[in-house]
Structure 1
């Protein structure tokens, strides 16, 4: 009886391990192919595509290190929950690859005519979508298998805040303000401060920001500070970018970078607009985060905010 139980347990562990390896190999293959297709036909010609290249390289590197750690059995020697790390990293990689699958074709399909480069753009986009799905499957599968509290609504909001900030940084590549525009420099500082505080909070709670953070005055104060800072950015960024009285450019047609045919679809003016929209989106996420923290602190529990393990 004991031998049969041990055999059954070993078979179950092997099944879980094999599924994990298959997902990691699919993630490595899809991100590597997306990067390879872009560099092979020189379809990396716009500054904003730096984000897509960074995403594929970053996700490939993280997945490769994860796979090596699992093959060598190093996860048992680490001083944090390996399952929570898998959920966090896969969640970010899924969002990153999805953003690359949206941003990259929007820019490059408008630039390249029918032919081999255009086909490579489509193929790279498809592989980025496959990678995003593979990472999302890993998140859902790991959550369902372990029932980790990292799958709560509050935890997902924390991850989403950092993700939106990363996308904002990508669009700031061509719109970084000069020192003569202190209000816009302040906005960039706001994005950096909130991103750093969020990343430190995630690391401090070992990728589990759902149990201890709601009861922490420091965590609550961080959310209040983020809401206040993003509110100032939401006011100042559009005011100084699109209001002529403050040195902004209200008309897209008057922006020099939008006249160039190669950047007419997503020029600098468009990127400034995207930053303004994403600022509003992240502010809403921080407000929702603050509301949830307030409700949770009143109830004294996070049980009502967890996503079922079947999610």
Structure 2
């Protein structure tokens, strides 16, 4: 009876996964098709949104082909970890496109076909976001049931993915070097964002390639050290970036300068500086939550090991 239940549960999980991926495929395809069909694909923000939808469509299509052909076992890494990692990043990417694209474009289009297509593309982007987020929730459910395993469906894994995503958004805002090259303190902030991104990405890659058990220390302890270092680095960036960008005594600009009216394709410099400051605070908060969770995990495990090592002594006495 247990075997039959587990088999039916696994079959249901596979069918639900196929349904979600087909929904992801359809919604992302319609999103970029609607934008491209009426000539609303213009400017940096629109290019970024279309790239997100095309990228998610292409990767999801490749995943479906691999699963239909049964080629998962040919890859030298955990296939489920890859699927969960991709679903997490795709959900975040589609959510960002669903927010940034309508704010930047819809309200500036005149009423008509272009605006209708932009609204429809945003709606399908939201559907894709829900579909990818549902896949993550689906994966967490089956981890609890013991059907599949994966680091990315745990709280530390999701937080690590969120940390790298926020860092990627920060990189998008600081792509213009004139924002920071005039001050060594701001260059240090950019170095902080890069170092912390590489640390978090390396932790994800170690687990994705099943190399976490080859470390000389336990993987949670290793993550705790990386996260503590990242918290200290991000704290310095949270102090220095607003200080040198918005304080006149340090050459900053406390007030927003006027930008061109009309259809906005790029943010003002002051807006970019403010966005980086806000994202720095958000990512620091995520790192602090990650640090607290990892510290609780490591110290709880240490206490359990100490209690286990004391049992033989008690029995000997």
TM-score (norm 2): 0.82
Per the TM alignment, residue 58 of structure 1 is displaced from its structure 2 partner at its CA by 2.4
- Tell me, in whole angstroms, the C-alpha distance in 1 between the residues paired with 2:220 and 2:208: 15
Gaps of 5+ in 1: 304-311
RMSD of the alignment, in Å?
3.0
Q: Structure 1 residues 115 and 15 mapped into 2: Cα distance closer, same or farther (>3 Å)?
A: same
Q: 1:239 aligns with which of 234, 239, 243?
A: 243
1:71-90 alpha-carbon deviations (Å, 9 max, x no partner): 12111233333222222211
- Tell me, in whole angstroms, the C-alpha distance in 1 between the residues paired with 2:75 and 2:228: 33
Paired positions, count = 294
Does residue 69 of the first structure (1) align with residue 44 of the second (2)?
Answer: no
1:51·1:170 contact (CA, 8 Å) conserved in 2? no
- Tell me, in whole angstroms, the C-alpha distance in 2 between the residues paired with 1:23 and 1:209: 30
Q: 2:43 aligns with which of 24, 43, 46?
A: 46
| 2:219 matched residue in structure 1 | 213
Q: 1:222 aligns with which of 220, 226, 242?
A: 226
Per the TM alignment, residue 266 of structure 1 is displaced from its structure 2 partner at its CA by 4.7
Matches within 5 A, 1:71-110: 71-110=68-107
| 1:181 matched residue in structure 2 | 183
Q: Structure 1 residues 178 and 235 mapped into 2: Cα distance closer, same or farther (>3 Å)?
A: closer
| 2:203 matched residue in structure 1 | 201
| 1:140 matched residue in structure 2 | 137
Give the secondary-structure state (helix, strand or coil) at the position aligned to 2:77: coil
| 1:60 matched residue in structure 2 | 57
| 1:270 matched residue in structure 2 | 271
Per the TM alignment, residue 277 of structure 1 is displaced from its structure 2 partner at its CA by 0.5
Q: Structure 1 residues 44 and 240 mapped into 2: Cα distance closer, same or farther (>3 Å)?
A: farther
Does residue 24 of the first structure (1) align with residue 21 of the second (2)?
Answer: yes
Q: Structure 1 residues 264 and 133 mapped into 2: Cα distance closer, same or farther (>3 Å)?
A: closer
Give the secondary-structure state (helix, strand or coil) at the position aligned to 1:287: helix
- Tell me, in whole angstroms, the C-alpha distance in 2 between the residues paired with 1:191 and 1:300: 31
Per the TM alignment, residue 213 of structure 1 is displaced from its structure 2 partner at its CA by 2.7
TM-score (norm 1): 0.83
- Tell me, in whole angstroms, the C-alpha distance in 2 between the residues paired with 1:131 and 1:42: 22
1:154·1:210 contact (CA, 8 Å) conserved in 2? no
Larger radius of gyration: 2
Per the TM alignment, residue 174 of structure 1 is displaced from its structure 2 partner at its CA by 5.1
Per the TM alignment, residue 111 of structure 1 is displaced from its structure 2 partner at its CA by 2.1
1:2-40 alpha-carbon deviations (Å, 9 max, x no partner): xxx88x987765544333222212111111221122222
2:206·2:212 contact (CA, 8 Å) conserved in 1? no
| 2:312 matched residue in structure 1 | none
- Tell me, in whole angstroms, the C-alpha distance in 2 between the residues paired with 1:235 and 1:273: 13
